[in-house]
Amino acid sequence: MSVFVILPAAGIGTRMASAAGSDPKAAPKQFLSLKGTPILVHSLRAFLAVPEVSNLYVAVRESEKPRIDELLAEFNLDGKISVDPATITRTIQAIEKHGAAIVGTPAVDTIKQVERTADGALITATIPRELIVHAQTPQGARVPLMRKAFAEAAADDFTGTDEASLLERAGIPVFVVPGHARNFKVTQPGDLEIAEFYLAG
C-alpha cells in the first residue's frame, strides 16, 4: 500500500498570536519554535522517519512557500530522520486493515452534554466516559474512501471539524488507534510550555 501524507500548515494561528510576540511573521503556530526547531519541522521529521510513507505533501498558503523551502534546506529534511514512528505506523496499519483510522485517547474527565442558553450552558446529560475518545492525529483513510467523504461534504456544503467527521458523515467506519498524552494539539500559548516539557524528555 502506498502511503501519502498531507500535512496541513496553512493556518494563520489566531489563537496562538500572543505567543508570537511582535513579530507577525512568526504568528502562525507551525513556525513557532520548540527547543530551537519550528513545530512544522518536528511534524515533518516524525513522518519522514516512517518507512511506509511514500510521499509527504505540505499544504501551505502561496505566500509561505519560500519560507517552507528555507526550512527544508536549513533543517536538511530531504532524508529519513530517526524519531519514534510507532503511532504513525500503527495508524497506517489500521488504515490498511480497516479502511479508515484516527488516533485517540480515552476520556478521563467526566463529559457533560449541554444546551446553550442566553445565560450560559445547561447540562442535559452525562456521557459515559467509555463511549468517548479524544481525537488526535494522524487521521486517514484509503484514497477512494477519503475522496467519497470529501465529495459528499462538498456537495452538501458541509464543513467538518476534522477528516474523521467527514468519513463518519459518509457512513464510513473509522477505527481508533490508541494514542498518548504526548501527542496533543498545540493550539494556545500555554501548550508551548507543555510541548517543551515533553521534548525535554
Whole-structure pTM value: 0.81
d(CA 177, CA 188): 25
Q: What one-letter code names the amino acid at 38?
A: P
Please count the other Cβ atoms lying within 10 Å of the Cβ belonging to residue 123: 9
Residues 112-124 have a mean pLDDT of: 96
Read off the pLDDT of each residue in 122-146 and give the average, rounded to a whole number. Answer: 95
Take residue 50 and report the three cell numbers written for it: 516512517
Indicate the helix (H) or strand (E) that contains 37.
strand 37-38
The span from the CA of 74 to the CA of 70, in Å, is 6
Q: Looking at the domain 86-184, which fold is it?
A: Spore Coat Polysaccharide Biosynthesis Protein SpsA; Chain A (3.90.550)
Whether 86-184 and 1-83 are alike in CATH topology: the answer is yes
The confidence score (pLDDT) of residue 81 equals 41
Mean pLDDT, to the nearest integer, of 63-83?
Answer: 76
Q: Which CATH superfamily is domain 1-83 in?
A: Spore Coat Polysaccharide Biosynthesis Protein SpsA; Chain A (3.90.550.10)
Domains of the chain, by residue range, sit at 1-83, 86-184
